[in-house]
A and B are shown apart, each in its own frame.
Chain A
Amino acid sequence: MPDLADLLRGAVAGERLALARLLTAIESDAPGARDVLPAVFQAGRGAHLVGITGPPGSGKSTLVNALISEWRGRERRVGVLAVDPSSPYTGGSIMGDRIRMMEHAADRDVFVRSMASRGELGGLAATTWIAAAAIDAAGYDPILVETVGAGQSEVEIASLAETTVVVEVPEMGDEVQAIKAGLLEIADVIVVNKGDLPGADGAARRLRAMLSTAGGRVKRQPPKVLLTNAVTAEGVVELVDAVEAARGSAGSEDRATRRAERQVRNVLATLATRRAQASPRWAETIADVAARRLDPVTAANQLDDQP
């Protein structure tokens, strides 16, 4: 493994393999990776982090492909982190988001990286936002983070991205689906993709109607609802405009604070878990919990208390 500071310098200078290897080191928490992180964040150029989430098969990857084309047309260098789930049984993963983006494979100003979620909840790998910082340092802006196909409650992406796009399909359900808490609530922009299918207009209309009335303790503006067809790129110009406009909209300072808090909490949880796992009493404690001699809360407390 080459020196990580060298990799960072290479990545900042535009070497793709250096960036790729830096990402591997970050992702696997390689020796020395933590020491280079301050420099990674310092080298950041303030790229717009855009989260793309939504149910499996709603067209996220195809839409990301269309978004890359549109942003390339606006002379932007585009970074993509495409997260797919890891098997809870073997730790293995199949990452297939790239299939939809291969037309950009040879474009030196597009960088696509697949990441396995490695067991994390929320459809994101624990290190996704750190990886995004490295891609930012390499000069890509915007950076699109495509999550694993999400259900109703995988809202973690909103604590990572500045702007969150939720991709739905026309068959998404009735008006009650639109007012449930969770995924749709975190959206800055909602896309009804596959806009050529019957019912697409109706779905977009219902979403607009139900989401336009947000009030109470909700400070954010209602999300914009757009129709797209990712295959033909219909509606993608408007989507890019909406994503650009969402950045810096009302409440973005609040959100920056919440994002920062979430990121620190995220790291604290990882550190505490690692420390506990390194304990000589780890295996024994887990066995006690499995045999119900000990409850999980007390077990975690005991592991956390040790010197």
Chain B
Amino acid sequence: MTDEPRPPNDSATPIRVLIAKPGLDGHDRGAKVLARGLRDEGFEVIYTGLRQTPEMIADAAEQEDVDVIGLSILSGAHMALLPRTVTLVRERGMDDVLIAAGGIIPDADIAKLKKAGIAEIFGPGTSIGQIARYFRENARHRA
């Protein structure tokens, strides 16, 4: 990271990330910290706020043409909401969009979620640097 403001257009197009919170979580501190952290890593982050349905997330991702969808969930409803979100995103033709999740997800569910199309799951203690690196390495490359 540089310390000086830089002129525009001096680097590649930033990666666009949608950060969304499906379901009925009561707070979004973690999602906001992550959004801020990714901003500092040079990502363009679209944050959609609390209490989103999978339909709203898929529709927002479609209009925003994001490269990555990051789903934050703490409530325990991940087995219902995350696979549904993946299905809707793919149904809308977004085949190459990376979908990752973070939050409180028991180890026993991780394999099932990956099978359902969640590319990676970031639990408590993951650093923002790790997430940023993963997104950079795995997000689609624009022509």
Contact = CB atoms under 8 A, between A and B. Distances in A.
Contacts of B63: 16, 20, 111-113
B45 interface: yes
Contacts of A23: 65
Interface string B7-19: 1111101101000
A302 B41 CA distance: 35
Given A17-B93, A102-B52, A95 B46 contact: yes
Interface string B36-51: 1011111111111100
Interface stretch (A34-42, A114-122, A183-191, A239-247): A114-122
A90 interface: yes
Interface in A61-105: 86-96, 98-99, 102, 105
A24 B13 CA distance: 10
Interface string B92-127: 111000000000000000000000000000000000
B6 A93 contact: no
A119 B9 contact: yes
B48 to A, nearest CB: 5
B137 interface: no
A300 to B, nearest CB: 13
Main secondary structure of the interface of A (DSSP, over half): mixed
Counting chain B CB atoms within 10 Å of each CB, which of A86, A95, A99, A120 scores highest? Answer: A95
B122 to A, nearest CB: 19
Contact of A20 (B10, B43, B64): B64
A99 B49 contact: yes
A89 B5 contact: yes
B9 A89 contact: no
B45 A20 contact: no
B45 A92 contact: yes
Contacts, number: 118
A120 to B, nearest CB: 7
A119 B41 CA distance: 16
B14 A93 contact: yes
A98 B44 CA distance: 14
A113 B60 CA distance: 9
Contact of A106 (B3, B6, B14, B55): B55
A1 interface: yes
A88 B8 CA distance: 8
A274 interface: yes
Given A1-B142, A118-B9, 14 more contacts: A87-B40, A88-B5, A89-B1, A89-B4, A92-B39, A93-B14, A94-B36, A95-B47, A102-B52, A105-B52, A106-B59, A112-B60, A114-B64, A116-B14
Interface of B: 1-11, 13-14, 16, 35-36, 38-49, 52-53, 55-56, 59-60, 62-65, 92-94, 142-143
20 contacts: A16-B62, A16-B92, A24-B16, A24-B65, A28-B13, A30-B143, A87-B39, A88-B6, A89-B1, A91-B14, A92-B41, A92-B42, A98-B48, A102-B56, A105-B48, A114-B46, A116-B44, A119-B7, A119-B8, A273-B9
Interface of A: 1, 16-17, 20-21, 23-24, 27-28, 30-31, 86-96, 98-99, 102, 105-106, 111-114, 116, 118-120, 126, 273-274, 277
Lowest 6 A-B CB distances belong to which pairs? A119-B8, A1-B143, A88-B5, A99-B49, A20-B65, A92-B39
